[in-house]
Amino acid sequence: MTSKFLRIFLGAAVLFAISALAQTSSAATPSSPAAAPAASAPAPVPNTGTKVGAINIEGALFGSNEGRRDLEALGKKFEPKQTELKSQNDELESLKKQLSTQQDKLNEDALGTLKKQIETKQKSFDRSVQDAQEEFGTQQQEIANRILTKMAPIVVKYAQENGFGMILDTSKQWPQSPVLMAGEGVDITKAVVDIYNAQSGVPAPAAGAGTKPAPSKPTGIAPKPATPKTDAPK
């Protein structure tokens, strides 16, 4: 759910940011008293490119050096929460194992108490997992939004300079996306990431330094421990 919401958020943010930038780039420069007559000033040249390009905007954001660095830091920030969730999960599994092996030996009151304890801890665990995922997702979106505001002008400029009249987002796979396929020849993801990395000045993270293409999905997604079944054995 977090990943789906993130893609919706990114899609809307990209559309808004790039549309605004495209409009700004085609707007006329305000005149001043000393400016030359309007007739002698060339009109802004609209983007007349005819090529169709593709960019995995999600992969570009989180595949950039800055995105990788910040996601890695976010993952480390959530390590204590992962440890806490694992401890809760282990305790819950231990109680379920106890119920499975001892339910024939326990009296009715003890059996009811154990089942109630499992049910309470299960609800607490599920709530903790959901809260952690939502908190992680919110902070992940903040990272994406911050990088996007700086990357969007690069996408627009690159498209205009290279004759692209349309750029499609391939963050999602067909049929979730209307893009059935996009060959490497039209994909500008790596070019945009390379330009962004050079402008940002953020070095590649030591653990992931290299020339691999930007990942299709961000790494370091919120901790998702396996949720134990809620139905206790009968």
Q: What is the pLDDT of residues 161-200, one digit of tens each?
A: 999 999 999 988 888 878 878 888 899 999 999 999 999 9
Lowest mean pLDDT among 30-44, 139-153, 168-182: 30-44
Retrieve residue 75's tokens: 């993952």
pTM summary value? 0.66
Residue 183 CA to residue 193 CA, distance in Å, equals 17
Retrieve residue 35's tokens: 């400016």
Average pLDDT, the chain: 77
For residue 225, name the pLDDT band (cuts at 50, 70, 90): very low
DSSP 231: S
Sign, Cα dihedral of 16, 17, 21, 24: positive
Tens of pLDDT, residue by residue over 65-121, are 999 999 999 999 999 999 999 999 999 999 999 999 988 888 889 899 999 999 999
Do residues 26 and 161 touch, judged by C-beta distance below 8 A? no
Pick from 86, 77, 89: nearest CA to 138: 77
Amino acid occupying residue 52: V
The secondary structure element, H or E, covering residue 54 is strand 51-55
